[in-house]
Amino acid sequence: MLNRNHVIAAVAMVYGLVMLSLLWLVGQSKDAAVNALFFSMSLILLLGGVALLAVLFFGLQRLFLPLGQILDLMRQHASDSGDLSARLPEEGDAEVAQLAKAYNASTDKVQRTLRDVQREMEGLALGLSELTAVTAQMGKDTRTQSDHAASSAATVEQITVSINHIADHARDMDHVVEQTQRLSSDSADSVLRVSEEVGKVSEAVVALTQTMDGLGASSQEISGIVGVIKDIADQTNLLALNAAIEAARAGDMGRGFAVVADEVRKLAERTSNATVEIAHKIESVGRETQSAVGNMALTANRVAHSVTMAEDARGHMLGIREHMGSVVTAVRQIAESTQEQSSATHTLASSAERLDVMTQATDSALQQASNTLKHLDERAKRLLKSVGQFKLADIEVFHSWAASSEARAVSEIKALLNQQGHHWADVAGDHSAAMIRSRITIGNPPTAAAIGGVKIQNWAKDGGLADLNAVATQQDWRRILPAVLDKMMQANGQYVAVPLGVARVNVMWMNASVLKRAGAQPPKTWDEFFVLAEKLRQLGTPMLAVGEQAWQIATLFEAITCGLGGASFYHSAFCQLDSAALTGPVMIRCLEALRKLKPYCTPDAAGREWNLATADVINGRAAMQLMGDWAKGEFAQAGKVQGIDYLCLPAPTQNGEYSFAADTLLMFKQNDPRLAAAQQDFVSLLMSSEGQEVFNLYKGNIPARIDVNMSRFDDYAKQSAREFASAASKQVLLPSWAHNMAVQDSVRGALFDAVDAFWKNSNMSPQDAARRLHDATRRTA
């Protein structure tokens, strides 16, 4: 490669050849004057050559120095560190300065482009990762749907067979009803004929009754005649007696007359006896005739009634015939409908089979999409790795904000930083405290880490935190931050951390359509909560969407302890770790409520991320989720409208208890002045009204600053801000133990383990769980 040394050597070589030529000419000449002239010229040329070489050396050095610097920078850019932050000094001659300026501008543009690419690729990688998880869930749901579709097809086939049987039975019933209609018509005709015959019988009975009435009258007349005969016999008997008396008086002359008189008397007696007997017979015949007449009258009435009933029966028969005609029509319609249903179920069965096939095809497509997304995810990571070869960032942050809404909030801050000429890079890999300490030990601390609450004081002991007092004084943090947060951000008399926003933890996120279908309102007490849970269970909808990760179960339990225990109990148990509170009756009651809650939760053996559980509420698979304000961002990302598609209200409390977690970045001391300046700009941006607004709009929190314009925030955020201030004034503002605000990591982990063990072990009693909470905190406190 040609450099300034090569040029000088070449010039010196040419100049040496010229001098040698002159000296040779001097040696060849015999003229002393000529030789003196050549000698003088050689001396002048020698001195001029030395001066020329000096000028050439320094001129080439000025020319090649920027080129060397450019070469060094390019080598630095091409090195493993790939540091694009170095720039050429824009000084010297106009041409050199312009070259340096053009090179710096080109490097700036490449750096900005790569920073934008890295920022967008980070968002893309997070989106692909989340989309992969959602696609996997969709694939699982599709396979379940395929199973249901196959089962539905078999059920529809069974229904088709049953409908065909019904159609056959309907046709048989049509024949039977038609025959019954004919029989009803024939029966009506028969009843008509019977009615006519009964009418004739009725007429005969009436005539017989009249005859019997005449016979009765004749019997009465005969009885009168017999009476007369009896009277004549009595008179004859009396005359015979008188004749006998007279014959006796006449003696023998009247003996013959006496005999005749005696015979007449006997005849009269027999006549009298016969008439008496006839009278008795006639009287008996009269009585029997009267009885027969009465019976005949009764029979006539009954026959008349039978005629009436026969007429009624005929009317009913005719009515039955008409109704049977309607039944025939209805049965025929049923038969036709069942035939149509049979055809429809055949179509439905075919559709179910096609749906099964389509579902299987969808499942296959989803699997292909999942594989494609995995490949895209891998490519995105490779691209990020490729871009990561260049040192683009002057700000490095340890955090775990990976959900789509969280990533969007971070991306907004990154974009603002890029506009200021800075770049935020997420630190990949291990985010543990040990990793941060190792970075500090080797003199390469990150700019910040998502560490807050009581843990800030732990890091202050090492003296490795940045002093943010200058920015805090300039922005007047003491005035714009709530007192509780302002105090948390300080250690050893100086500001060391930045609060990005505040989230309420004990919040219910509800699917409005699910509640509407159940005819229910959001619960205001825990008793109402469990009543609604049972109602939804009977309707086949889980009350709560839960990813069975330890911190999510702890979040549930925190909402219960805030609501059932109240602020005083909460402070004693989870801030002071009081033994009586940890094992007392209030804790037992809270654990019993947690146990009671489990049957109303979505089953989740895999331990899904919280945002996938939120998706269950968004999609109506569950009625609600107990989660912090950050869940709101997921609803917004899904395009759901607050108050229409979903509802958000505080979980039931006694006195407005507000469990809060603050998104906080702890700042570490930077030894490099350039990185320290970038950190100060970073802090200033995070605490600016613009930074607080954009981060919390997408994150779902409320700003930590109390003077941020809330006009762009939704009604819930505005209400949450008011309730935050109210809770602070009522002394019911509770730092979240489940979200790093109240207890050290060791204690928090022990509480997580105890609550998670109780959740997963149905044989563990609440009393045992309470003792485990107490023992665990004592071992780690």
3-state secondary structure labels for all residues of 94-133: HHHHHHHHHHHHHHHHHHHHHHHHHHHHHHHHHHHHHHHH
Q: Which of 624, 611, 529, 581 is nearest to 737 (CA)?
A: 581
Strand partners, 663: 501
Mean pLDDT, range 388-404, rounded to an integer: 78
Residue 644 has pLDDT above 70, yes or no: yes
Residue 753 has pLDDT above 60, yes or no: yes
Residue 484 has pLDDT above 90, yes or no: no
Mean pLDDT, range 84-92, rounded to an integer: 62
User: Which of the listed ranges 108-112, 347-351, 690-694 does the model predict with the highest average pLDDT?
Assistant: 690-694
How confident is the model over 592-615, as pLDDT tens digits? 999 999 999 998 767 788 999 999
Query: What pLDDT shows up at residue 2?
Result: 47
Residues 6+ apart with CB under 8 A from 670: 445, 447, 466, 676, 678, 679
> Residue 776 — very low, low, confident or very high, per pLDDT cuts 50/70/90?
confident
Domain at 505-668+701-780: CATH code: 3.40.190.10
Q: Which two tokens stand for residue 610?
A: 């919280």
Query: What pLDDT shows up at residue 481?
Result: 92
Residue 380 has pLDDT above 50, yes or no: yes
Give the three-class secondary structure for 428. coil
CATH number of the domain at 395-503, out of 3.40.30.10, 3.10.20.740, 3.40.190.10, 3.90.79.10?
Answer: 3.40.190.10
> CA-CA distance, 188 to 11, in Å (whole number)?
143
| Whether the Cβ atoms of residue 178 and residue 364 lie closer than 8 Å to each other | no
Q: Dihedral angle at the C-alpha atoms of 650, 651, 653, 658, nearest 10 degrees?
A: -50
Residue 639 has pLDDT above 70, yes or no: yes
CATH topology of domain 111-385: Helix Hairpins (1.10.287)
Mean pLDDT, range 247-271, rounded to an integer: 69
How confident is the model over 424-449, as pLDDT tens digits? 988 766 668 889 999 999 999 999 99
Mean pLDDT, range 211-238, rounded to an integer: 69
Residue 508 has pLDDT above 70, yes or no: yes
What sign does the dihedral 615-621-627-633 (CA atoms) show?
A: positive
Whole-number mean pLDDT of the chain? 79
Residue given tokens 């049509």 in the structure block:
174
